[in-house]
Structure 1
Amino acid sequence: MDAGSPPFQPATVARRLSVVAGFYRTCVIDGVLDRSPAEYVRRPRVSNESPTLGLSHLPFEELLCAARDSDNPPDFALVAMLGLLGLRISEACRCDATDLGEEHGHRVLRTVGKGSKIALVPLPPAVGRAIDRAVADRVRGPILLNLRGRRMDRHCATRRLRLLAEVSVVRLPKLHPHMLRHTFVTTMLDAGVDLRDVQIAARHADPRTTMRYDRARTNLDRHPNYILAAYMA
């Protein structure tokens, strides 16, 4: 790592050390090594609170409006796929026009998530229209294209989101793709969807992950500072 580059976040370090430890553990099981050199490596403690905050209802609605009014059709599909379907940016960028289909009377999008797990995500009409607008008359190829007509990647997606934030009527924070997946989870919980159903929709293996998405927002909404200020007023 260069001296001037920022350090990795604890979650990133812990995740990468976990991969290394798993590799050496397999070597020990297979008899390649006598003991794992990563056995006593200390991993950083990861906070139970997510450092990312999703958008609240009104800012998210304004972002959707800005994307819908954009002259670049993939913008609306990008925001809808991340914020209304809860796709990870890697999943959204991998989706092709051939991944659209029907299942039991529902229009669905076939995605490949973590661990190469295939999921069929139902498309609400508004999201379907956004995707149709991005695909236009193409029958194959990526759903999300960059301005050069090539497959969009996470870096291009981040730039498009930040351009949309600049033209939005409401002042928006510095956007990045994962913030919209965060918004997907917290908006569902705000709408009264059961935690278990949100976990299934977000495709979280552990409900604690879903709760971690929501905890930071809840801590702000219910902070005792507001109670004290109201009492003193």
Structure 2
Amino acid sequence: MAHTHHAASGRPALTLRLPVLGLPVAGRLEAVGWLEADEAARFLAAAAADPRPPRLRTGALLGVMLTEGVRVAEICGADIADPGHDRGWRTLTVTRKGGKRQVLPLAPPIVHA
């Protein structure tokens, strides 16, 4: 069974038919949200502007989440002390929803953070 979201904001992706994965929240299905490119850039810039020492780690974690679509629980469960290599890329292995493990390539700015 699928549910059709109405395109109220001019975003064509909202017209896609999405599978219903469980019970609706408060009697209705919630639309999936995302950040536009400029919003993501401002989000990362705010993390980089943090004066506290963990800003590099925070920026790297947010970068992985934004570029790879990793959930908070997935990134928190990753062993960042043991990154891998694949065809010249640094990689990070995460356990996805449902227990599936996936190797993710890391962009150079994230690796250097």
Shorter-chain TM-score tier: 0.5 to 0.7
Deviation of 1:45 (Å)? 8.0
> Does the Cα contact within 8 Å between 2:44 and 2:63 map onto a contact in 1?
yes
Partner-residue secondary structure (3-state), 1:121: strand
Partner-residue secondary structure (3-state), 2:93: strand
- Give the distance between the partners of 2:89 and 2:35, measured in 1 at CA: 28
The residue number in structure 1 matching 2:37 is 57
TM-score (ref. length: structure 2): 0.64
Deviation of 1:58 (Å)? 1.3
The residue number in structure 2 matching 1:68 is 48
Give the number of the structure whose residues are more often helix, by fraction.
Answer: 1
Partner-residue secondary structure (3-state), 1:58: helix
* Higher RCO (CA < 8 A, seq sep 6+): 1
The residue number in structure 2 matching 1:123 is 106
Percent identity, please: 26
2:108 aligned partner, one-letter code: P
Q: Tell me the alpha carbon deviations over residues 22-71 of structure 1, each in whole angstroms, 9 at most, x when there is no partner.
A: xxxxxxxxxxxxxxxxxxxxxx9874xx5242122212111111111222
> Does the Cα contact within 8 Å between 1:99 and 1:111 map onto a contact in 2?
no
**Unmatched runs of 5 consecutive residues or more in structure 1:** 1-10, 16-43, 131-233
1:104 paired to 2:99? no
Q: How many residues align?
A: 90
1:14 paired to 2:30? no
Q: How well do the aligned residues superpose, as a CA RMSD in angstroms? A: 2.7
- Quick check: which has more Rg, 1 or 2? 1
TM-score (ref. length: structure 1): 0.34
